[in-house]
């Protein structure tokens, strides 16, 4: 394979992946609509500028079948990253998230099922959001896959998850690829549908397909102006604007933060390895990190005067914990993350300090959630 199409290739993950694949001798085509939410109003972002001269760039939309036809022509593989990705925003932009993430993917699959093409491999960017809550353990129940937490518990600041049998707090364990699929956000539901459609179609058409369930990706190049992006960017923008940080719940909720270079490595391995064909993989660091830990580390590295407050507020669609079990991806394609969280955060902060400080639009996104009834 030589010719690779990356949808969403001007975004954070896509641009880093494109640069790595070009360095390996691949010819890259990018289909991207340069969304204002990611690239700003002038659509002339650093992300776009980093790939425009090393790729065949097509300004287009995955929701447009003719753009797909143009982009797929002559390609050997497609890495489908283009998606709407805000968990909270998805709860009230339902049509938009369904249209881009599900209908956009359907256009690609429909072309592959009905038209002449040269695609020999498909890689789909899935998400840890499809799991909902992570996997837990109880000495009497064994592995437990909790449903979403009740509004009553959250309103009473009961954030942890307890056994229905012993009434004790459940023990957090890593979430593997065979764990229950039970998304609790519209975004998670759309990624579940996207993954299932792609894996099934790839099997039926005998096109090797790989689904990568990315955890929380971060690193240099991540948008600092998008209030729906990862918390490292959100917290950084607030700290650099001397705005206070309000932590939801008790701050002990955790996520698996995986550095961009490791995500690129996992994606390239999935492209190049036959052992990845028709497989689903978690892509993460394999380690949980609490939200309050993230805030405190950033606060120290920026030497900020801002305050950090635990609010006990909560947001609909949020989970308590989830971190990746990496046994499968390590075993089959020899993926091993190499950047630990503290090292990665220092690299990220060093990059942020070189950027222009963007206005902080986070509060407007929170107000949107509150007006819709999704933030308490």
Beta-strand relationship, 279-283 and 209-214: parallel
- Dihedral (Cα; 37, 373, 366, 368), 10-degree rounding: 50
Residues 6+ apart with CB under 8 A from 252: 159, 290, 291, 292
pLDDT digits (tens, 9 = 90+) for 21-48: 999 999 999 999 999 888 877 678 889 9
Q: Report the first-to-last Cα separation within the chain, whole angstroms.
A: 50
Name the residue ranges covered by the structural domains of the chain.
83-372
pLDDT digits (tens, 9 = 90+) for 137-179: 999 999 999 998 999 999 999 999 999 999 999 999 999 999 9
> What pLDDT score does 375 carry?
59
The answer to whether 145 touches 133, Cβ cutoff 8 Å, is yes
> What pLDDT score does 362 carry?
60
User: Which residues of the chain carry a pLDDT beneath 70?
Assistant: 42, 360-370, 372-376
> What pLDDT score does 226 carry?
80
> What pLDDT score does 41 carry?
76
Residue in 26, 220, 201 with CA at minimum distance from that of residue 124: 201
- Asked: is 83-372 a CATH 3.40.50.150 domain? The reply is no
Residues 6+ apart with CB under 8 A from 150: none
How much is the pTM?
A: 0.95
Strand ranges of the sheet holding 209-214, from the earlier edge strand across to the other edge: 56-59, 27-32, 3-7, 77-80, 121-127, 209-214, 279-283
164 by DSSP, 3-state: which? coil
Instruction: Write the CA distances from 353 to 204, 219, 222, 242, integer angstroms.
Output: 49, 13, 13, 14
> What pLDDT score does 374 carry?
63
Residues 6+ apart with CB under 8 A from 106: 197
- Dihedral (Cα; 192, 101, 324, 158), 10-degree rounding: -80
């Amino acid at each position: 394979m030589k010719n690779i199409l990356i949808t969403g290739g001007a975004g954070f993950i896509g641009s880093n992946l494109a640069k790595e694949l070009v360095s390996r001798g691949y010819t890259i085509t990018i289909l991207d609509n340069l969304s204002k939410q990611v690239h700003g109003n002038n659509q002339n972002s650093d992300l776009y500028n980093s790939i425009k001269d090393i790729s065949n760039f097509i300004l287009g939309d995955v929701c447009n079948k003719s753009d797909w036809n143009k982009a797929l022509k002559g390609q050997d593989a497609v890495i489908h990253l283009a998606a709407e990705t805000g968990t909270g925003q998805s709860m009230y932009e339902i049509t938009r998230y369904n249209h881009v993430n599900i209908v956009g993917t359907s256009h690609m699959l429909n072309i592959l099922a009905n038209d002449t093409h040269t695609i020999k491999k498909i890689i789909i960017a899935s998400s840890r959001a499809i799991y909902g809550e992570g996997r837990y353990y109880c000495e009497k129940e064994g592995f437990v896959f909790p449903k979403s937490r009740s509004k009553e518990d959250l309103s009473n600041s009961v954030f942890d998850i307890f056994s229905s049998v012993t009434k004790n707090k459940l023990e957090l364990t890593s979430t593997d690829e065979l764990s229950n699929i039970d998304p609790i956000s519209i975004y998670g539901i759309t990624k579940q549908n996207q993954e299932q459609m792609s894996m099934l179609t790839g099997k039926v058409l005998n096109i090797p397909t790989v689904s990568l369930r990315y955890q929380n990706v971060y690193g240099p190049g991540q948008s600092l102006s998008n209030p729906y992006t990862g918390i490292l960017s959100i917290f950084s923008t607030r700290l650099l604007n001397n705005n206070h940080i309000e932590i939801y719940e008790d701050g002990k909720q955790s996520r698996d933060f995986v550095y961009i270079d490791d995500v690129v490595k996992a994606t390239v391995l999935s492209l190049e390895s036959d052992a990845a064909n028709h497989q689903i993989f978690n892509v993460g660091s394999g380690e949980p990190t609490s939200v309050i830990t993230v805030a405190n580390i950033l606060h120290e590295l920026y030497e900020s005067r801002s305050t950090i407050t635990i609010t006990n507020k909560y947001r609909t669609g949020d989970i308590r914990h989830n971190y990746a079990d990496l046994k499968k991806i390590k075993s089959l394609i020899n993926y091993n993350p190499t950047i630990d969280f503290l090292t990665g955060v220092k690299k990220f902060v060093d990059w942020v300090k070189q950027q222009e400080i963007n206005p902080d639009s986070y509060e407007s996104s929170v107000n949107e959630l509150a007006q819709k009834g999704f933030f308490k």
